[in-house]
A and B are shown apart, each in its own frame.
Chain A
Amino acid sequence: MELKDKLISSFLAFEEGLEPDNGMDLIRNQAIKDFEELGFPNRKDENWKYTSLNSVLKHDYSVFPKKEEAIEYRDIKKYLIHDIDTYDLVFIDGIFSSHLSQTTHDKIDVCLMSSALTKDKYRPVIENYFNKVAPKSGLNSLNTAFSREGAFIHIHKNKLADKPIQIINFATGNESSLLLQPRNLVVVEENSHVQIIERHQSLTDHPVLTNSVTEIFADRRAIVDYYKIQNDNLSASLIDNTFIEQKDESNVSVHTFSFGGKLTRNNLNFYQRGERIDSTMKGVTIIEGKQHVDHNTLVHHIEPNCESHQDYKGIYGDSSTGVFNGKVLVEKEAQKTNAYQSNNNILADDKATINSKPQLEIFADDVACSHGCTIGQLDEDALFYLQSRGIPRKEARGLMMYAFANNVLESVKIPEVKKRINKLIASKLEVELGFHNL
């Protein structure tokens, strides 16, 4: 049976197993109908021209997670940012792990989507925000239909999340291939601030496919810093769908670090519904082998006087492939928009490929929009310069690639995250970066 048919026929059984919830049944039923109609995207879809899901959809994924595997903190510590105090939401095969997590309801809510979907006190938030910004698409509808668990983060007005929040999804899937569909909702009210780190990590060699949907609402003057660490193993694939709605003077940044996984697709959409909004998207991609990473971004400038900044850098080795498809849509009313986009790539080997496609659709006449794209190899003159100082060629290449990606790290606001990413980059480039702590 095709995966699509299997999922549709699994839906009834899934629904039966659910507790009564906050009017979710109607949403789920509509979503499965939409998925039936839309199905999985294919390469005929303009947005999926350079990424085929065929190789990841062929597995016979189990949709219902088995009961929680025994996982101890020491087994997963290395995947967490553990040198600072954080709230942690840890999920194992889609099921919340209370003993590995630290939640809170003290001034801010950092808890489970399953609670939010079923408990009365969260009903208003769910009704106002759940499934309100994610557009209709086959993948989003599929996630909505099966949405049950994930992170629910609600920062009330004038509150500051006192420590960063980590959302970590582990897959053990010891017996079979596994499809995971986490669903996250982040609501940040007026004048509030939150920092979030998200990671998906497979602990098995069996195939794992994650189709994740995250909706983020940033109200007036809210600040959200979101970091995605994608360094999964070679049997795991990720489709990350993240949708952000911003109100006046809010500031949201999303950093995406893509260093691993078989296939990674990031759908990142920003909707600016207010004035003087700032939206930042930054990414560093370092892959090799036959890995594939696709960044598909959209910034929808709907109202005047807003800014958006996109800066994606990629280093592609072996026969890896990358895609950057960055769309900036400026509506007629969105005068005085400043939109910047830059995508720079290094092809470290002859067989590596990058498809870079900036798309600017501008209907306003008084705007500043720029985009730039470069694809190149490392500068031989610079390599010789470094070698002539005694730095071996391999390290010289690493140093230059590190320097290339470096400016994206400058905007990372959590020092421990920056340090971790530094280390990941160093290990990906197989260099000892002993120089960054002088």
Chain B
Amino acid sequence: MLKIKNLHASIEDKEILKGINLEINPGEVHAIMGPNGSGKSTLSSVIAGREEYEMTEGELIFEGSDLSEMDPEERAHKGIFLSFQYPVEIPGVSVTNFIKTAINAQRKAHGKEDMPANEMLKLIREKSEMLEIDRKFLSRSLNQGFSGGEKKRNEIFQMAILDPKLSILDETDSGLDIDALKVVANGVNKLRREDNAVLLITHYQRLLDYIVPDVVHVMVDGKIVKSGGKELAHELEERGYDWVKPEKTV
């Protein structure tokens, strides 16, 4: 589904990603762990197409198409979704209106008519129930005055609605208490299918107790230095990141 080969990326001439290789297949959940500043969030931004980051070398292929020259919205139309670490507040646009605009923008890109209002309401109701989102919440301005937990829940709500092929969850666990974490993880698990995939970016192993990954990668200083099964996450939790560094030279 996603093939990344020798990916290098910089921001303002500072190289952050220094040769990433990663392949994600349909049905898989991958986790990328690593210390602060290792480039985890940069990788998610580069996949989603944030303009400030310049891809200087390598390949970024999604379902056979080269993503590197695509605008963020085109990548979204292909089925890539990024759950933001810090969702942006947009006063004056309600959650419902935003979701409606997003759904219809994606449908338009695929040559479809706008979603009928009754279908839209049914979809919103169904997914908000799944994520235990209060109806009142839907008429509030997007992310404005939301608690950290509400913002993250809203991200997964959008993911559930847009039904992407590849979901990148950037530090979705930060700011969530244990109950909210369970709701969010439960939502993500319910959305898992044979034909979609998830890339979890996290600093802590905690989230991986609830969303169990197939592969865990460790990222240090702009490179993936170790990959393994889910047990790798526990090892990292116990021994910290310093332990993996020597492998760089192997």
Contact = CB atoms under 8 A, between A and B. Distances in A.
Contacts of A402: 92
Interface stretch (B45-53, B191-199, B207-215, B239-247): B45-53
Interface in A383-438: 384-393, 395-396, 399-400, 402-404, 406-407, 434-436, 438
Nearest to A438: B100
Contact of A388 (B82, B97, B101): B82
A404 B92 contact: yes
Interface in A96-129: none
Given A385-B87, A390-B73, A399-B101, A406 B92 contact: yes
B24 interface: no
A382 B97 contact: no
B120 interface: yes
Interface string B62-78: 00000000011101110
Interface residues of B, number: 36
B50 A390 contact: no
A379 interface: yes
Contact of A391 (B49, B51, B101): B101
A389 B162 contact: yes
Contacts of A387: 49, 71-73, 76
A204 B155 CA distance: 51
A45 interface: no
B105 A390 contact: yes
Given A387-B73, A390-B105, A438-B100, A382 B162 contact: no
Interface in B134-155: none
B104 interface: yes
B250 interface: no
Q: How large is the interface on A (under 10, 10 to 19, 20 to 34, 35 or more residues)?
A: 20 to 34
B96 interface: yes
Contacts of A75: none
Given A388-B48, A390-B102, A391-B102, A438 B117 contact: yes
Contacts of B235: none
Contacts of B48: 388
Interface string B92-108: 11001110111011100
Contacts of A400: 90, 93
Given A434-B101, A436-B97, A390 B76 contact: yes
Contacts of A389: 76, 81, 98, 102, 105, 158, 162
B105 A391 contact: yes
B91 A395 contact: no
Contact of A384 (B72, B91, B104, B114): B72
Contacts of B120: 438
B204 interface: no
A83 interface: no
A382 B101 contact: no
Contact of B93 (A392, A393, A399): A399
Interface string B201-237: 0000000000000000000000000000000000000
Given A384-B51, A387-B71, A387-B76, A392 B105 contact: yes
A377 to B, nearest CB: 14
6 contacts: A380-B51, A380-B52, A390-B77, A390-B162, A392-B105, A438-B97
Given A390-B76, A392-B105, A438-B100, 11 more contacts: A379-B88, A384-B72, A385-B88, A385-B90, A387-B73, A388-B75, A389-B102, A389-B158, A390-B77, A396-B73, A434-B104
